[in-house]
Structure 1
Amino acid sequence: MKRPIDAIAIVGPTASGKTAAALALAQQLNTQGGAEIISVDSALVYRGMDIGTAKPSREELAAVPHHLIDTIDPLQSYSAAEFAKDATRLIGEIRGRGRTPLLVGGTMLYLKSLLEGLNDIPAADPQVREAIQARAEQVGWAALHAELMQVDPVTAARLAPGDSQRVGRALEVWTATGQTLSSFHQSAKAAAPSWRIPVLSLEPVNRTWLHERIAQRFELMMAQGFLDEVRQLRARGDLNPDLPAMRCVGYRQAWQGLDEGWSEAEICERGIFATRQLAKRQITWLRSMDSRHVIAADAPEALAQLLVTAQRLFLA
């Protein structure tokens, strides 16, 4: 007999319907002890970033207990390793209350860190980071990406040359430790916990369907006052566009647009494009997960299919 599942993960690209699916599943699980939601989203952790992250409404947050939402200030950073530690603790606490943890979100690196184990990557070294940033300003990130390809080809192969945050972090780890980032990830995978967490993945068959939903949602966020939210964050005076919080999709384009005098229409257009690119990367991540249970997000019966699949896994 199989041991009970530890949690159920509901993942998918942005705007694929994860929040609605999680709330519906939580309601269905009320007859089986109930459920609590653990957010798997690198943007929802930040306080004061509500509109641009499409944060669940007060009513949605009140309907089911939520975790890892509004936990840190935008000035702070939050890593995948921290998420894995927090999620591991929360899974134990939620199961201890007789409820089912639902891992819900689209930050695949967070889910990967939880499922494949933690690593001992050292914390960021400000001096090393500043030195790498200074070199990038001199020779460009493409040159640093080429350098990373020489020392850590495994990590470099999965990063775009313009992904300054991750290229910089990988070089920082190599400089500080003499070990590659990929070697830390491999050691973590070897020591991964033996979770039983089925992954339900909402993936559209028709990419146009997702593109339209992304555009509609971004236009709605603009109408709800997204730019005013970004202006308030800028007015604090202690935030800058290089912080992880301000590099979140949408916020990055809005900050740059306000700096450079773009029209609201141009900010919206660029934000939609960046969000679609994010969705493309998320789908690529998902397709690398062979054990996931795929639900056609754009099918009329998507929600019903997800609930039936989850119930079958829950009772297996």
Structure 2
Amino acid sequence: MSLSREKPKLIVVLGPTASGKTEIALEIAGRTGACIISADSVQVYRHFDIGSAKPTEEQRREIPHFLIDIVDPDEGFNAGTYMRLALDRISRLVADGKKIVVVGGTFLYVKALLYGLLEGVEIDREFRDSLARERDAKGVVSLYKRLESIDPVSAGRINPNDYVRIERALEVYHATGERMSDHQRRHGFAEQRFNALKIGLLGEREQLRRTIDERVDAMIGRGWVEEVEAIRVRGYGPDLKPMKSIGYKRINEFLDGQLDLKTAVEKIKTDTKRFSKRQSTWLRADDSIKWFDPADGKRPILEACSEFLG
């Protein structure tokens, strides 16, 4: 990807599932004339429409959307693929003078887009869990001090409260025995690629839980079960990656006779709430996010975007 020396501006809309990201992104794009780039690991797949909450065809006609419906359900797709496609698309849009809004709940994709990926560094889940336990017991400062002793260069670039980046730097050292700063020097990235305004949506927890319940019921009412049946008729089985995503997994269990529909729906709601909680925890660890409560309306968000874009 070739970009000008001045970092391109991106507006990035983040938030847990059902927080209203799509609506806000559409409003921002409509007011600013921006294009929207999806950062969602299920929306990339064709046919997975209702359960991934894809924008409607009408919305996509009104505002250009990218990285939606780009692969078949049996094709491989990961954060590295997303990063390459997103960077290529952004490069073209920037060259055309377009404004860009990135929106989605797959935060690994957003992270890859903004900061890059360290190819070949596998995540050790057990080590990651141990870091989380230490964070909960001793605070993020304990992990930051550990990073300072291992990799003072990376520590100097990272805010002491930025758990996500501290975690990743420690993971890299644990997996490779090499410091993150040395990896970054070879890979050619260390700082954020873009001048990004991160808009975070995080409202009252109980309201979000109610919204999730209503959203799941509405998706079922719009034909989510029938959508999964149609995907299976096309020859795509329940063992495929997108079929194991939240909601789709439970509907497949219903279609296979493992659950009745009522139980499947309740499990979808429970799974979604748990996932939403994990998303919120991850987001709160990023102190570069500018937070907004959706209950306060769109105006404060639109004003922040207008000021950012100049």
Residue 309 (1) aligns with residue 308 (2) = no
What is the 5 A alignment of 1:281-296? 281-296=278-293
1:304 aligned partner, one-letter code: R
Distance across 2 between alignment mates of 1:119 and 1:22: 29
Aligned to 1:90: 89
- Which of the numbers 239, 242, 247 marks the counterpart of 1:245? 242
Whether contact under 8 Å (1:119, 1:184) holds in the other structure is no
1:266 aligns with 2:263: yes
Number of residue equivalences: 263
State the SS of the aligned residue for 1:277: helix
Structure 1: any 5+ residue segments left out of the alignment?
125-144, 160-178
1:25 aligns with 2:28: yes
Superposed displacement of residue 185, structure 1: 7.3
Unaligned runs of 5+ in 2: 134-173
CA distance in 1, matches of 2:60, 2:247: 23
Q: CA RMSD in A?
A: 2.8
**Stretches (4+) displaced over 3 A:** 2-5, 154-159, 181-190
The aligned runs of 1:53-132 (5 Å cut-off) are 53-121=52-120
> Among the aligned pairs, what percent are the same residue?
32
Q: Which moved more, 1:60-69 or 1:90-99?
A: 90-99
Show the counterpart of 1:11: 14
Cα distance in 1 for residues equivalent to 2:250 and 2:180: 31
| Aligned-partner Cα distance in 2 for 1:39–1:51 | 15
Is the 2:34–2:99 Cα contact (8 Å) retained in structure 1? yes
Provide the residue aligned with 1:207 in structure 2.
205
Q: Is the 8 A contact 1:121 1:184 kept in 2?
A: no
Preserved contact between residue 43 and residue 53 of structure 1 (Cα < 8 Å): yes
Deviations 1:226-260 (A, max 9, x none): 1111112223344233x221121100111122223
| 2:22 alignment partner AA | T
Q: Is the 8 A contact 2:7 2:193 kept in 1?
A: no
Correspondence for 1:138: none
- Match of 2:102, SS? strand
Distance in 2, Cα, partners of 1:278 & 1:187: 34
1:198-231 deviation digits (Å, cap 9, x = unpaired): 1111111x10111111111110111111111111
- Deviation of 1:109 after TM superposition, in Å, equals 0.7
TM-aligned CA distance change 1:19 to 1:238, over 3 Å: closer
State the SS of the aligned residue for 2:70: coil
Q: Secondary structure of 1:70's match?
A: coil
Aligned twin of 1:218 = 216
Question: Which residue is 1:166 aligned to?
Answer: none
By how many angstroms is 1:261 displaced? 3.9
Structure 2 contact 8–94 (Cα < 8 Å) conserved: no
Partner SS for 1:180: helix
